[in-house]
């Protein structure tokens, strides 16, 4: 009996992995077809109407502590949507909303936000040079020279200063719901004023 339960569990896990791989593969196919991508982006604008209250209609956050979704890598967005839907990322509000989305709607939402431009925010000019230096030493290896991330690492360029400060501080202090060993190591030596400098540097990158 125990063996049967284990086998069933492995089968379900494999099925979930295959389903996610299929969704990511569909995203790649979609991106290679300009007409289909345009249709997905248009549909995604409608799908994400319930996200606008926090993340903004164009993916530029209305709340200082909420991240911009505009300009993020679509594969990264799709994976975060999956994680919220599966309960791997914890947020009661987000989990409830995402669970109602079908796979096609998730693809459309990710495609829409990824297509939106990100306008840089105003920064304290006196903080930018120091922030750039720290970013180059601690963050650039993973997040990229232009802080635009990739399929597995988020874009930081153009994010709002309060969101950046809160997030980096949580990684440093290990107080957030998301723990990441590499982020904890990278941020461990940062003082509060260092985090302010990095946030000011990142927010003004287009």
Distance CA 12, CA 6 (A): 10
For residue 198, pLDDT beyond 60: yes
Distance CA 39, CA 72 (A): 19
Q: Residue 13 falls within a domain, yes or no?
A: yes
Q: Residue 186 falls within a domain, yes or no?
A: yes
The DSSP annotation for 152-164 comes to: SS---TT--HHHH
CATH number at residue 142: 1.10.760.10
93 vs 172, residue with greater confidence = 172
Q: Are 205 and 136 in contact (CB under 8 A)?
A: no
Please state the domain count of the chain: 2
Residue 178: predicted pLDDT: 81
Residue 87: count of CB within 10 angstroms of its CB: 10
What is the tens place of the pLDDT at every residue in 78-95? 999 999 999 999 888 899
What is the tens place of the pLDDT at every residue in 17-26? 445 568 999 9
148: containing domain: 125-203
Quote the pTM value. 0.86
Q: Residue 39 falls within a domain, yes or no?
A: yes
């Amino acid at each position: 009996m125990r063996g049967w339960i284990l086998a069933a569990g492995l089968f379900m896990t494999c099925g979930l992995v295959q389903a996610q791989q299929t969704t990511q593969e569909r995203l790649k196919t979609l991106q290679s077809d300009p007409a289909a991508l345009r249709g997905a982006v248009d549909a995604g604008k409608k799908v994400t109407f319930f996200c606008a209250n926090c993340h903004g209609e164009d993916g530029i956050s209305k709340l200082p502590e909420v991240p911009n979704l505009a300009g993020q890598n679509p594969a990264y967005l799709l994976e975060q949507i999956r994680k919220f839907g599966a309960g791997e990322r914890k947020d009661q509000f987000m989990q409830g909303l995402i669970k109602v989305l079908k796979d096609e709607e998730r693809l459309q939402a990710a495609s829409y936000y990824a297509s939106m431009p990100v306008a840089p925010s105003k920064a304290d000019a006196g903080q930018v040079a120091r922030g750039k230096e720290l970013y180059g030493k601690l963050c650039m290896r993973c997040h990229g020279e232009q802080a635009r991330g990739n399929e597995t690492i988020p874009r930081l360029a153009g994010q709002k200063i309060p969101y950046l400060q809160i997030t980096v501080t949580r990684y440093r202090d290990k107080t957030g719901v998301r723990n990441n060993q590499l982020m904890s190591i990278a941020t461990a030596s940062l003082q509060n004023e260092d985090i302010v400098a990095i946030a000011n540097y990142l927010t003004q990158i287009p």
